[in-house]
Amino acid sequence: MRRTAILAGLLALVVAAPASAHHHGGLKVERIASGLDNPRHVAVAPDGDVWVAEAGSGAPPSASKSCFDSAEGPACTGKTGAITKIDRWGQRRVVTGLASFAPASGDSAIGPHGIFAGRGNVFFTNGGPTEPLRGGKTVLRDPTLVSEAPISRLYGTLRVIGRHGGTFKLADIWKAEFRHNWDAAVANDHIDSNPVDVLADRGRLYVADAGGNTLLKVGPFGRVRPLAIFPNKTVPDPFGGPDDSMQAVPTGVVRGPDGALYMSQLTGFPFPFGGASVWRVDPKTGEYEKYASGFTNIIDLDFGRDGTLYVLEIDSDSLLPPVGPSDDGGLWTVPPGGGTPAKVAMDAGTLINPGGIDVNKKGTLFVTNKSTQAGTGEVLRITLTD
């Protein structure tokens, strides 16, 4: 299996200088990490260490041999994706050189995204390639992108961080999409894969593929099969045109207190206000039902020990301008067992396009912030004080 060098021990230790704690009504908000490149999902390990997937910043066009059109605009591939660890000594990148693409600004990158920290193992997804285009036609990862930039072979894979200086491929999610394209059955015939979350549960691995609109189960020897496929939904066009066929776009998967899987959705274009839901999925049959709804552009979710579900919105008034002019994200709670969601009140500017959430055993929330920015991303520690 291919290894990506881990530079732990060679990298200089970067100690975050946490800002003074800020109190926002019933919240205490502390910054525990900064200077991150497009930080996405976050995971708290059983020992309390915090792990962050950084999507990186791509590469300048002058330094990349693989550029294409993407949903984020003209973009180029680089080796700038990373995994950062935050512990009692501060923050440091323990894995670097992962696949990343981004516009020339470095913002809105696609790269490492989902992460799960268990006892002794840290799993992560290297997202992408999200249907790159040239001349309006899809450019495939294999063989085209890989021939241009070999690091591209990491796109669309599920990986684990090894103990002795490498990351190892566990499954090739992009190749499964290429071979099977399961969501073609629900009117999405393009080859489009972007694995954005991973859950390790009782020896099983589950992956949410935002591009493939699937919740996948990864078995022995990297075998990938769909547990659930999420169909499109017809919604009004905000600009007065014909109705749009909106894709589901899964973004997060967690295990609930009842043993079921819970999956969040971003929704696709036109990213309607209040159009996103949380789905409860039977891990044996793949049957799913709506658990909570009325959210906008959910990017991640997690349960507290008391059964409260925390739902994180990357943009609370829609990602689509001019429908949603603000970059403020939102945090919601759903009561144990389900019920009416309640939005957590916080000052404007507290959450700016947040990208991931995890809850530790004490009920403290860890949230990545400014997740679409290169060099200014953060991790916030949020305590609900009321």
What is the distance between the alpha carbons of residues 278 and 281, in angstroms, rounded to a whole number?
10
What is the distance between the alpha carbons of residues 205 and 49, in angstroms, rounded to a whole number?
21
What is the distance between the alpha carbons of residues 311 and 150, in angstroms, rounded to a whole number?
37
Place 7 in a pLDDT band, splitting at 50, 70 and 90.
Answer: very low
Residue 322: per-residue pLDDT: 72
What is the distance between the alpha carbons of residues 125 and 225, in angstroms, rounded to a whole number?
16
Residue 316: per-residue pLDDT: 95
Q: Which of 6-10, 19-23, 253-257, 288-292 has the lowest mean pLDDT?
A: 6-10
What is the distance between the alpha carbons of residues 46 and 44, in angstroms, rounded to a whole number?
7
Amino acid at 274: G
User: 2 lies in a domain?
Assistant: no
**CATH value at residue 320:** 2.130.10.10
What is the distance between the alpha carbons of residues 173 and 129, in angstroms, rounded to a whole number?
11
Identify the domain containing residue 326 by its residue range. 22-384
Residue pair 248/267 in contact by the 8 Å Cβ criterion: yes
Residue 78: what are its φ and ψ, rounded to 5°? Answer: -145, 180
Asked if residue 3 has pLDDT above 60, the reply is no
- The mean pLDDT value for 111-138 works out to 95
Edge-first strand order for the sheet with 157-161 is 112-117, 122-126, 157-161, 167-172
User: 362 lies in a domain?
Assistant: yes
Higher-scoring residue by pLDDT: 2, 117 = 117
User: 7 lies in a domain?
Assistant: no
Amino acid at 20: S
User: 14 lies in a domain?
Assistant: no
What is the distance between the alpha carbons of residues 19 and 240, in angstroms, rounded to a whole number?
45
- State both tokens at 34: 């900064």
The tens digit of pLDDT for each residue in 246-304 reads 999 999 999 999 999 999 999 999 999 999 999 999 999 999 999 999 999 999 999 99
User: 364 lies in a domain?
Assistant: yes
| SS3 label, residue 122 | strand
Residue 162: per-residue pLDDT: 87
User: 110 lies in a domain?
Assistant: yes
Q: Where are the alpha helices (DSSP H) in 125-251?
A: 146-148, 173-180
Residue 262's nearest CA partner among 249, 287, 279 is 279
User: 325 lies in a domain?
Assistant: yes
Domain count, the chain: 1
Tell me the whole-structure pTM to 2 decimals: 0.92
What is the distance between the alpha carbons of residues 250 and 235, in angstroms, rounded to a whole number?
17
Identify the DSSP state of 352: B
Place 2 in a pLDDT band, splitting at 50, 70 and 90.
Answer: very low
Place 11 in a pLDDT band, splitting at 50, 70 and 90.
Answer: very low
Place 24 in a pLDDT band, splitting at 50, 70 and 90.
Answer: low
User: 9 lies in a domain?
Assistant: no
Amino acid at 179: R
Handedness of CA 230, 236, 238, 242 (dihedral sign): positive
Higher-scoring residue by pLDDT: 162, 107 = 107
Place 120 in a pLDDT band, splitting at 50, 70 and 90.
Answer: confident
The tens digit of pLDDT for each residue in 312-369 reads 999 999 998 877 789 999 999 999 999 999 999 999 999 999 999 999 999 999 999 9
Question: Bridge-partner residues for 200, per DSSP?
Answer: 205
Residue 132: per-residue pLDDT: 96
From residue 21, give the alpha-carbon distance in Å to each of 28, 89, 386. Answer: 7, 19, 16
